[in-house]
């Protein structure tokens, strides 16, 4: 099983945003920071999950994925497979499409303090855009 921690950050809402991804797989860990441009904080959270799924498609195909996020909004939308929010709907559809390529995809909400690593990576991605 691959453990994936994701976080999105935005400086302003909307503002410059970034995605942080921390993956624990096969006894190793992997870190990713992606600048995302101008998005809301919630949008950045969804984009972090999409980016993480893309990484898993490339490096860990056919694995069981256990995602963790401190975004209640993103986790609730994905778990319920439903949103009325027009901004979130295409992001949900992309996540569902990508998640369906794996035998199992789980996502669970965790408190912020358990997501520090992904948070630091997301903030790093925001900072890369302010230089």
Q: Give 52-62 pLDDT, tens digit per residue.
A: 999 999 999 99
Phi-psi region of 91 (alpha: psi -120 to 50; beta: other; left: phi over 0): alpha
The whole-angstrom separation of Cα 94 and Cα 112 is: 25
* Helix, strand, coil % in the chain, rounded to nearest 5: 45, 35, 20
Q: Which structure tokens are listed for 105?
A: 């995809």
Q: Would the pTM of this model clear 0.85, i.e. be above it?
A: yes
Task: With cut-offs at 50, 70 and 90, classify the pLDDT of residue 103.
Answer: very high
Q: How many CB atoms lie within 10 A of CB 82?
A: 11
Structure confidence by residue, pLDDT tens digits, 4-37: 999 999 999 999 999 999 999 999 999 999 999 9
Q: How do the domains of the chain map onto residue ranges?
A: 2-128
Pairing of strands 2-12, 64-69: parallel
CATH topology of domain 2-128: Nucleotidyltransferase; domain 5 (3.30.420)
- Mind spelling out the 3-state secondary structure of 76-130? HHHHHCCCCCCCHHHHHHHHHHHHCCCCEEEEEECCHHHCHHHHHHHHHHHHHCC
């Amino acid at each position: 099983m691959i453990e994936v921690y994701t976080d999105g950050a935005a400086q302003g809402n909307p503002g410059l945003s970034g995605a942080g991804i921390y993956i624990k797989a096969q006894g190793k860990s992997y870190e990713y920071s992606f600048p995302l441009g101008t998005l809301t904080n919630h949008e950045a959270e969804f984009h972090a999950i999409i980016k993480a799924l893309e990484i898993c498609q490339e490096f860990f195909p056919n694995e069981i994925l256990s995602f963790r996020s401190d975004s209640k909004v993103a986790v609730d939308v994905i778990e319920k497979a439903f949103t009325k929010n027009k901004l979130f709907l295409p992001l949900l559809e992309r996540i569902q499409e990508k998640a369906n390529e794996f035998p199992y995809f789980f996502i669970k909400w965790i408190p912020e303090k358990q997501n520090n690593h992904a948070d630091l990576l997301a903030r790093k991605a925001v900072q890369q855009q302010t230089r």
